[in-house]
């Protein structure tokens, strides 16, 4: 069956709801605040929990609230009764698996580029290997972080921004917001911060183009994003060992846990991916054909 990229959201009556943008801006902070408040009793019921564990529970509650409220949100704001299909989640299984595997393959190629560059440049050496527990954690990161962030940024946020900006400017805007909201301490200076934010901006664009190239299916972006997160976790966890004096410009900022997205290798890999995806810059790409 043919799967077309999701069109820009529309509002009832073809116009913008009064106060709609104010409502949209407050939607996510309200979910985060609700999750944080609902998780506070855990600190009293289980005093042994660390603050970061309570905060993680609050994040999970916020995500659950997002899943529960998105269908009603899309009906009211976008005039869309089929929320999960519009967001690229509820698609035929063959189309979802094909997109997911394409995304994972691109993540593997990007990580292979980074790994080869670090080993050949003397910034890393082969490690002792990984444990089954690390592999399980990597899979959880791949599915959890990949799905949650792609649903939020390349699903809801991109569509929400398209209400007022149009698909093309919204594509760039969602990538910019994606890069800005990821926290980063300034201990390594402003250049490291700018390098990381620039890499995240490129990644946000690449993920949007991945969804566009998959005809609106979200699972390719989930595979690409989750594959990078989970794959880098495995590389750092034991597949390679970074040298103590590895240059920041090569391995990326982050200190003991560097993020290669902000390093030269990450920038080169993402730039190459964007070059390959240049045909999908247009707002109305040709729909792909997916198996029924």
* Tens-place pLDDT, residues 138-157: 999 899 999 999 999 999 99
Asked whether residue 19 carries a pLDDT value surpassing 70, the answer given is no
Give the Cα separation of 233 and 217 in Å (integer).
26
Residues whose CB is less than 8 angstroms from the CB of residue 165 and which lie 6 or more positions away in sequence, other chains included = 173
Model pLDDT, residue 203: 96
Count of C-beta atoms within a 10 Å radius of residue 63? 18
**Up-side HSE of residue 27: CA atoms within 13 Å toward CB?**
22
Give the Cα separation of 107 and 202 in Å (integer).
14
Prediction pTM value: 0.86
Residues whose CB is less than 8 angstroms from the CB of residue 120 and which lie 6 or more positions away in sequence, other chains included = none
Asked whether residue 289 carries a pLDDT value surpassing 50, the answer given is no
Model pLDDT, residue 243: 85
Reported as a single tens digit per residue, the pLDDT across 154-200 is: 999 999 998 878 778 899 999 999 999 887 767 678 888 899 999 99
- Total of domains in the chain: 1
Segment 3-13 shows an average pLDDT of 41
Q: Report residue 16 as tokens.
A: 């913008």
Does residue 30 form part of some domain? yes
Percentage, residues of the chain above pLDDT 70 = 88
Give the Cα separation of 120 and 118 in Å (integer).
6
DSSP string, 162-206: HHHH-HHHHHHHHHHHHHHHS---GGG-HHHHHHHHHHHHHHHHH
Model pLDDT, residue 248: 84
Does residue 129 form part of some domain? yes
Does residue 143 form part of some domain? yes
Model pLDDT, residue 107: 96
**Up-side HSE of residue 174: CA atoms within 13 Å toward CB?**
29
Asked whether residue 98 carries a pLDDT value surpassing 50, the answer given is yes
Model pLDDT, residue 234: 92
Question: 202 vs 251, which has greater pLDDT?
Answer: 202
Does residue 249 form part of some domain? yes
Asked whether residue 7 carries a pLDDT value surpassing 90, the answer given is no
Model pLDDT, residue 16: 47
Strands, E assignment, the chain: 2-3, 124-126, 240-242, 288-289
Q: What's the chain's average pLDDT?
A: 84
Look-up of token digits 């990229």 = 5
Does residue 292 form part of some domain? no
Q: Domain limits at 69? A: 2-285
Give the Cα separation of 23 and 213 in Å (integer).
31
Inter-residue contact 100 to 87 (CB < 8 Å) = no
Reported as a single tens digit per residue, the pLDDT across 36-51 is: 888 878 777 777 778 7
Question: 264 vs 52, which has greater pLDDT?
Answer: 264
Does residue 88 form part of some domain? yes
DSSP 57: H
Give the Cα separation of 259 and 189 in Å (integer).
15
Asked whether residue 292 carries a pLDDT value surpassing 60, the answer given is no
Asked whether residue 129 carries a pLDDT value surpassing 50, the answer given is yes
Reported as a single tens digit per residue, the pLDDT across 205-256 is: 999 999 999 999 999 999 999 999 999 999 988 898 888 888 888 888 877 7
Residues whose CB is less than 8 angstroms from the CB of residue 196 and which lie 6 or more positions away in sequence, other chains included = 182, 184, 252, 253, 254, 259, 261, 262
Give the Cα separation of 181 and 150 in Å (integer).
14
């Amino acid at each position: 069956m043919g799967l077309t990229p999701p069109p820009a959201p529309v509002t009832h009556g073809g116009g913008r709801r009064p106060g709609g943008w104010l409502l949209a801006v407050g939607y996510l902070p309200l979910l985060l605040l609700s999750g944080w408040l609902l998780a506070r009793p855990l600190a009293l019921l289980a005093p042994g929990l660390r603050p970061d564990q309570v905060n993680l529970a609050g994040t999970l509650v916020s995500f659950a609230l997002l899943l529960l409220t998105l269908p009603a949100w899309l009906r009211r704001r976008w005039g869309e009764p089929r929320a999960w299909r519009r967001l690229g989640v509820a698609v035929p299984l063959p189309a979802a698996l094909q997109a997911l595997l394409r995304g994972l393959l691109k993540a593997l190629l990007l990580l292979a580029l980074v790994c080869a560059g670090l080993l050949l440049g003397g910034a890393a050496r082969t490690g002792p290997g990984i444990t089954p527990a690390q592999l399980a954690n990597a899979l959880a990161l791949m599915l959890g972080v990949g799905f949650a962030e792609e649903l939020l940024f390349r699903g809801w946020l991109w569509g929400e921004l398209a209400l007022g900006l149009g698909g093309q400017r919204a594509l760039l805007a969602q990538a910019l917001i994606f890069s800005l909201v990821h926290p980063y301490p300034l201990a390594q200076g402003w250049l490291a911060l700018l390098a990381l934010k620039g890499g995240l901006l490129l990644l946000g664009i690449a993920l949007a183009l991945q969804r566009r190239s998959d005809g609106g299916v979200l699972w390719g972006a989930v595979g690409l994003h989750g594959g990078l997160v989970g794959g880098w976790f495995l590389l750092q966890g034991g597949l390679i060992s970074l040298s103590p004096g590895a240059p920041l410009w090569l391995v990326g900022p982050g200190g003991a846990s560097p993020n290669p997205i902000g390093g030269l290798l990450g920038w080169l890999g993402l730039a190459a991916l964007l070059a390959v995806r240049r045909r999908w810059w247009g707002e109305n790409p040709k729909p792909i054909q997916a198996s029924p």
